Amino acid sequence: MTVDKFQLPPYPHDKLRRITLSAKEQGRQVVDLSIGTPCDPPSDRVTKALLTPNVINGYPPSIGTSDLRNAARQMLERRFSVRVEESELAMCVGTKEFVASLPHFLHLKSPGKDTVLYPAVSYPTYAMGAHTFGLRAVPVPPGVNGSMDFSAIDKEDIDRALLLWVNTPANPTGEIEDLVAAAKFAADYGITLCSDECYGEFTSPLERKSVLSCGKDNILALHSLSKRSNAAGLRVGFYAGDGELVHFLQEIRKHLGLMIPGPIQAAGVEAFAEDEAVDRQWGIYKDRLSYLIDMLDGIGVKATMPKGGFYLWVKSPESYQKDPRLIKNGGKTENSGWLFTEDLAKHGAMLVSPGDFYGQLGADHIRIAAVQPLEKLELIKSELEKSKLSFL
């Protein structure tokens, strides 16, 4: 029997290096709007809590201190109107590691199942978490309303599914997922549902929803301090929901020594207690998104305000379909998302992400993260105005 050797794909953002290098060689500055890393500071009370005494000497609990878990539970109740018991919530070291490792842990529990279902245009780690552990990742295309189209999944994939990921508001599209439909589909087929809600507070209060309002049976919600509190460097996240599943995961994670450092757990307590700073930050993102929409309009590119999150998901202008660079490569190694990305870096001094980072279905788009202050966005605008790049 031949066994396929695992081929590690390049890390998506590393593929942008050639664009930044070429700008550097030409002495041009590019403003980085490619990664969703917050640039605004966390609040003082969070920073000060990092100096909490007596939390360095001992090992911190892998599930999180009781104070931290309670602060997270209270945040869920205040902001999402859902209640969980202390035993139904545990911490993770930022949510990326949880997204990446969950399929493996669920497979240990249910070795007969080997498939992860995830949104076809989405955060790349949903698929990587399956691939790196030798599991299958099956993309689910969006339906007409932007939510996942469960009717498009093959029967065999449903039968083999361990886990269904949803992400709301979604990175990169800014869509709000139909959580009731996802919960029904997952329950009908006995699939664990995990809803990644790390942008959950960056939307209108009416759209602010947690999957836990649909129940907890075989369901988890995943939250992070990275975006809500401008604290990606702290690496604090939590998962909450089905008590039995939370218990299983927390026990494995304890064996593996996955734990948030003590001073950071103390800072996390302060961060989960804050709401005003989060709402203020959402206002800042909305202003930047509006600025970027107007700026793109000025060069003939249409972009619309996302329903949530801080990304613009923008279709590449039609003219790229006739671009000789695309035609030359038969559309195989280049796509319009990459060409648009290259042109924006070359003429507009901004680095964005080509849409294929988020799945082949996104190849005709780019993603722009509103993570730089207005002064930097003004710089991009003035470079664009000076350049000849226009799709009008």
Ligand X SMILES: Cc1ncc(COP(=O)(O)O)c(C=O)c1O
Closest CA to 235 of 227, 244, 226: 226
Choose the stretch contacting ligand X; rule: CB under 6 A; options: 93-101, 177-185, 255-263, 371-379. Answer: 93-101
Q: Which is nearer to ligand X, 177 or 242 (CB)?
A: 177
The answer to whether 226 contacts ligand X (rule: CB under 6 A) is yes
Q: Which CB, 95 or 203, lies closer to ligand X?
A: 95
Please identify, using beta-carbon distances, which residue of 21 and 256 lies nearer to ligand X: 256
Question: Could you give the C-alpha distances from 56 to 52, 90, 139, 140, in angstroms and in order?
Answer: 9, 20, 43, 44
Q: From the CB of 378, what's the least distance to ligand X, in Å?
A: 25
Residues within window 111-150 making contact with ligand X, judged by CB under 6 A? 123
Which stretch in 224-232, 242-250, 282-290, 340-348 sits in contact with ligand X by CB under 6 A? 224-232
Binding residues for ligand X, how many (CB under 6 A)? 14
> Is residue 94 a contact residue for ligand X (CB under 6 A)?
yes
Considering only residues 16, 68, 71, 99, which one is a binding residue for ligand X as defined by CB under 6 A? 99
Which is closer to ligand X, CB of 19 or CB of 232? 232
**Is residue 224 near ligand X by the rule CB under 6 A?**
yes
If one asks whether residue 232 binds ligand X (CB under 6 A), the answer comes out as yes
- Can you tell me which of 175, 196, 364, 383 binds ligand X, judged by CB under 6 A? 196
Least distance between ligand X and beta carbon 128 (Å): 12
96 binds ligand X (CB under 6 A): yes
CB of 232 to ligand X, least distance (A): 5
Q: Which residue of 36, 119, 241, 337 would you call a contact of ligand X, by CB under 6 A?
A: 36
With respect to ligand X, which residue has the nearer C-beta, 237 or 241?
A: 237
Stretch that binds ligand X, among 91-99, 248-256, 257-265, 274-282 (CB under 6 A): 91-99
User: Are the C-beta atoms of 175 and 206 separated by less than 8 Å?
Assistant: no
Residue 198 contacts ligand X per CB under 6 A: yes
If one asks whether residue 203 binds ligand X (CB under 6 A), the answer comes out as no
**Minimum distance of ligand X from residue 304's CB (angstroms):** 20
Q: Is residue 168 a contact point for ligand X (CB under 6 A)? A: no
Q: Which stretch in 89-97, 267-275, 297-305, 366-374 sits in contact with ligand X by CB under 6 A?
A: 89-97
What string of H, E and C letters represents the secondary structure of the chain?
Answer: CCCCCCCCCCCHHHHHHHHHHHHHHCCCCCEECCCCCCCCCCCHHHHHHCCCCCCCCCCCCCCCCHHHHHHHHHHHHHHHCCCCCHHHEEEECCCHHHHHHHHHHHHHHCCCCCEEEEECCCCCHHHHHHHCCCCEEEEECECCCCCECHHHCCHHHHHHEEEEEEECCCCCCCCCCCHHHHHHHHHHHCCEEEEECCCCCCECCCCCCCHHHHCCCCEEEEEEHHHHCCCCCCCCEEEEECHHHHHHHHHHHHHCCCCCCHHHHHHHHHHHHCCHHHHHHHHHHHHHHHHHHHHHHHCCCCCCCCCECCEEEEECCHHHHHCHHHHHCCCCCCCHHHHHHHHHHHHHCEECEEHHHHCHHHCCEEEEECCCCHHHHHHHHHHHHHCCCCCC
- Binding residues for ligand X, rule: CB under 6 A, are 36, 94-96, 99, 123, 167, 171, 196, 198, 224, 226, 232, 237
